[in-house]
Structure 1
Amino acid sequence: VDLRGCGESSVGWPTWSRTAIAGDLRVKRFRQGMLRLLGTGAFRSVPFWRSYLDVAYPGVKPADWAERLGRIDSLLREPGRMKAMQGMGRSAPTDAGAQLGNVRCLVLVVIGTLAPDWADPYAEGSAIVDALPSGLGRMEMIEGAGHYPHDQFSDQVVSLMLAFLRPEAAHA
């Protein structure tokens, strides 16, 4: 990355301030999901959760999106539902991460390239595979998918899963 006017960048910028340069370098989608999740938990807010889902499903939404949101709204207003969501949100990911070394079966990690909860979805998926015992994990990225690639691009995920499982089925 070349800063304004430096290296191979253009020279016709209206300002050269550090603030402007920092704005050029800022990752616009960094942690968008996390901020909304914090709002959901802190304020027991269904609208915050809906705003998270909007970021978690970038681009194409499922055909029944409006109906799903209505169902989600209704369910989250039932007694105990938001408390359960808060409990899940407050749990640290370290407990699951600590168990990855104990996995004994093959693992396919499917992650969206636009997953909003990580600055670098590729690095996140790679870290999971690297924490598994050697040779057990494989990662696949779904271009344009967010946090829920299995829902946004179900045909692609099913194809990846079948290709992943076929060699194992032959050995069974």
Structure 2
Amino acid sequence: MNDSPSTTRHLTRPEGRLAYEVAGEGPLVVCLPGMGELRSSYRFTVPALVAAGFRVATLDLRGHGESDATFGRYDDVAAGGDALALVEELGGPAVLVGSSMSAGAAVWAAAERPAAVAGLALVGPFVRNPPMNPLLALAFRAAMSGPWAPAVWGGYLPSLYPGRKPEDFAEHRRLIRESMRRPGHARAFSRTTRTSHAPAEARLAEVGAPTLVVMGTADPDFKDAAAEAAWVADRLHAETLLVTGSGHYPHTEYPEQVNPRLVGFCRRVTAGA
């Protein structure tokens, strides 16, 4: 029997609970959203994967969405451990789809427990700390360190969609703002923004899982998005999909380009599972 995608489940972890949904039947795909995002960031991805015969789980990060904000850590390693715990809960192995920060978490998980990860799809991936002017780094830290951080993020979010915003963008941004008003969530978000991706970069050479790197060529989070995609792909021996004109969330801006490639990738790496 298919699980309703509208039914929230909870994964119990040592310091709190994480909210997730499951839809479909078949080989498992676990979708991890980026920092400041919700599991509904995959709202255009899940239907395509389910229609292709996959069982798809979407997870809210710690201190995001309907997940608790009671944890001591909000970094790549913690998110990677949560992903592995969900794969174990649902029965893997799984393809891990990681957006932004969660790409680093997915890389760490694949290195930590290779048998649990059938493949990686990394979207707008942060798998290393990008070079940043020290003054800009200090300004970013200040902007994301106080009670004003959710408002700053809400104002910054539209710039991450330089191509084509989805029709429901305003509603999606409203839901993100509501999430950050939950007790402890604004503080958890601020702590998440301090994440270092050094632990992910240190384990790139340990990853043997087939990998797809998806990058928007106009992603404002990278000085040269295409070059960053090439760098990640080189180290992971990955295939790449560059989405012309897209920003940090190509799977949301241009799902008609990303979904077919993602579905094909998932079919290849789960064949015979």
What TM-score, normalized by structure 1, do the two folds share?
Answer: 0.69
Corresponding residue of 2:171: 67
User: For 2:261, which of 131, 146, 160 is the aligned residue?
Assistant: 160
Unpaired segments ≥5 residues, structure 2: 1-131
Q: C-alpha distance in 2, partners of 1:124/1:141?
A: 11
Mean Cα deviation higher: 96-105 or 117-126? 96-105
What is the letter of the counterpart of residue 145 of structure 1? S
1:143 Cα deviation (Å)? 0.9
Query: For 1:99, which of 203, 211, 215 is the aligned residue?
Result: 203
The runs of 4+ residues in structure 1 deviating greater than 6 Å are none
Deviation sequence 1:60-108 (CA, Å, 0-9, x none): 2111111112111111111211222222211112111112111121000
Q: Quick one: which of 198, 202, 217 aligns to 1:113? A: 217
- Equivalent residues, number: 138
Deviation at 1:153, TM superposition (A): 1.0
More strand by share: 2
Instruction: Report if the CA contact (8 A) 1:115-1:145 is conserved.
Output: yes
What does residue 76 of structure 2 align with? none
Residues 13-162 of structure 1 correspond to what in structure 2 (within 5 A)? 38=141, 40-45=143-148, 46-132=150-236, 135=237, 137-162=238-263
- For residues 81 and 37 of structure 1, do their structure 2 counterparts lie closer, same or farther at Cα, with a shift above 3 Å needed? farther
Aligned to 2:246, the other structure's residue is in SS state: coil
Matches of 1:39 and 1:153, distance apart in 2: 33
Q: Is the 8 A contact 1:36 1:52 kept in 2?
A: no
- The answer (yes or no) to whether the contact 2:219–2:248 under 8 Å persists in 1 is yes
RMSD between aligned residues: 2.5
2: CA distance, partners of 1:61 / 1:91: 27
Q: 1:116 to 1:91 in 2, by over 3 A?
A: same
Offset at residue 162 of structure 1 (A): 2.7
Q: CA deviation at 1:44?
A: 3.6
Kindly name which structure, 1 or 2, has the bigger radius of gyration based on alpha carbons. Answer: 1
Q: Partners in 2 of 1:170 and 1:120 — Cα distance?
A: 34
Question: Gapped runs of 5+ residues in structure 1?
Answer: 1-29
Which amino acid in the other structure matches residue 74 of structure 1?
Answer: E
Distance 1:161 1:48, change over 3 A: same
SS at match of 1:90: coil
- Post-superposition shift, 1:163? 3.2
Identity %: 33
Give the superposition deviation at 1:37: 5.5
